[in-house]
Homo-oligomer: A and B are copies of this chain.
């Protein structure tokens, strides 16, 4: 008898959870049908029912990463300006165990994406979208005098993304040197430095 639809959905969730655990532990470099099967305590044959190929497994893993990133809990977002940007960037940094796992998997995905034209384009587009989402906050900050009138929102958006992702990588490798409060302090100093002397809070 085929499993009831509810069972099937529950099993799908189990599979995704196991894929996530393998990714968080070993990255895409360690993502194999065998590793996921072992994490679930099932046979590789059973798992091939879900993922007939390694490619299908990787595609599921990338979807899962996108979905969990989109659905992650986020801070209340101040309407605009540097406070909104600060909340956005705090939502990216590895400040909790879940954030750390997600970031670790993103960094791992870069190896894959740099080797594959289509995935590389996806990642370039993701960066473009992230900079575009940041830009209006920088424009508002400039218009409200939180940034110098000469500030270039395009440049600053790229700089803010660079700072944040570079901090992610350092923190992943050295969590003792970069606990959450150290990351937050670095972000605040960074924001103060781009605000410069024109900042009302500076």
Contacts and interface: CB of A to CB of B under 8 A. Distances in A.
A193 B148 CA distance: 11
A114 B173 contact: yes
Nearest to A169: B165
A115 to B, nearest CB: 5
Contacts of A107: 110-111, 114
Nearest to A173: B124
B162 A28 contact: no
Q: Lowest 10 A-B CB distances belong to which pairs? A: A162-B166, A166-B166, A165-B166, A162-B167, A111-B111, A124-B174, A108-B111, A124-B173, A27-B111, A197-B197
B104 A108 contact: no
A127 interface: yes
Contacts of A177: 124, 128
Interface of A: 25-30, 104, 107-108, 110-115, 120, 123-124, 127-128, 152, 155, 158-159, 161-167, 169-170, 172-174, 177-178, 185-186, 189-190, 193-194, 196-197
B170 A162 contact: yes
Contact of A114 (B27, B152, B164, B189): B27
Contact of A29 (B29, B167, B185, B190): B29
A62 to B, nearest CB: 13
Contacts of A174: 124, 127-128
Nearest to A162: B166
Contact of A158 (B27, B114, B186): B186
A192 B169 CA distance: 24
